[in-house]
Amino acid sequence: MAFASRHLLGLEGISAEELLYVVDTAESFKEISERDIKKVPALRGKTVVSLFYEASTRTRMSFEIAAKRLSADFVSLSASVSSASKGETLLDTARNIAAMRPDCLVVRHGAAGAAFFLAERLDCPIVNAGDGSHEHPTQALLDLLTIREHVGRLSNLKVAIIGDVLHSRVARSNLHALRTFGAEVRLVGPPTFLPPEARNWGHVCYNLAEGVRDVDVIIMLRIQRERQGLNFFPSVEEYARLFCLNRAALAGASPKVVVLHPGPINRGIEIASDVADGPYSVVMHQVTNGVAVRMAILFLLVNRAPIAAETEEAADMPRLRRSAG
């Protein structure tokens, strides 16, 4: 099972009920960030460690703010300053961290499956904060919360996911979650960015104007140049001319459409400033919601009953409820 009771590794195979449970929990936590004193004692005495082998602004900081708003201690380690630079393996680094008894380990790594690998070997809840091109579950969960707030529902949406689908973990986690809620998904981009299996995920479309027509939600993806070993398009200028989402490209879209982007944004390449900063954009709401979603995930995974204490009856409950113990 992709989402064991102790970990958040990916959204593949997670039921609509469980996804809604996380989104509802996150929604209930949003109000804490609006208070004058932004702290509750829910995770007092607990320690959350983050281990990031890739660059991050939003995700790492958002986990830290989330942990601190729940009164957990937060310790963060970047691979660039860790003993990874002296040749230590991921597993050895993680084992040493686990030996210090954290209550949760948040991991970002360039290799798909890194979080699964650690979850199988360490006695500590693991949260996947992005593993290569595979999954980025907390990003898709914050996207769900943002979409529900701005569109009013999660069921049966028409969604366009635009850009570098091939390399995007954000696209994969969103596809799993949105399709669980019955979304009709359009995958839009040049053929080199749409893997052959994309046809099983949704309607493949090579034209931007056609791709955005009549959709409720547009999810823009960053061009993941760090993951592109080959030339996937002739030039950035040509890509921007054909696929950069600007106001003109949105002309045929629904006036109620909402535009998401996980950040970091490449202005003028995949998204123009007039859209990124315009009335359809909910990008800053995504960032705000990221804190609430990570508070929910840390709360649900850390504040749980010990496995040994679980009864047979508890084992039958939905996994997230059981985690909430």
- Contact residues: ligand NCD, CB under 6 A: 58-59, 130, 136, 139, 169-170, 222, 224, 262-263
In whole angstroms, what separates CA 154 from the centre of its chain? 16
203 is catalytic: no
Q: Which of 46, 69, 108, 322 is catalytic?
A: 108
Q: Which of 136, 169, 261, 304 is catalytic?
A: 136
Q: Which is nearer to ligand NCD, 122 or 221 (CB)?
A: 221
Q: Which is nearer to ligand NCD, 125 or 263 (CB)?
A: 263
Structure token pair of residue 259: 């535009």
For residue 58, which amino acid is it? Answer: R
In whole angstroms, what separates CA 196 from the centre of its chain? 23
Residue whose Cβ sits closest to ligand NCD: 222
For residue 209, which amino acid is it? Answer: A
Instruction: Tell me the torsion sign for CA atoms 308, 313, 314, 319.
Output: positive
For 270-293, give one letter per residue: b (16+ CB within 10 A) or e.
bbbeebbeeebbbbebbbbbbbbb
Q: Which of 6, 25, 46, 59 is catalytic?
A: 59
> How far apart are CB 318 and ligand NCD at their closest, in Å?
27
Q: Which is nearer to ligand NCD, 150 or 222 (CB)?
A: 222
138 is catalytic: no
Q: Which is nearer to ligand NCD, 104 or 265 (CB)?
A: 265
108 is catalytic: yes
222 is catalytic: no
- C-alpha distances in angstroms, 254 versus 10, 23, 217, 220, 286? 31, 26, 9, 16, 20
6 is catalytic: no
Q: Known catalytic residues?
A: 58-59, 86, 108, 136
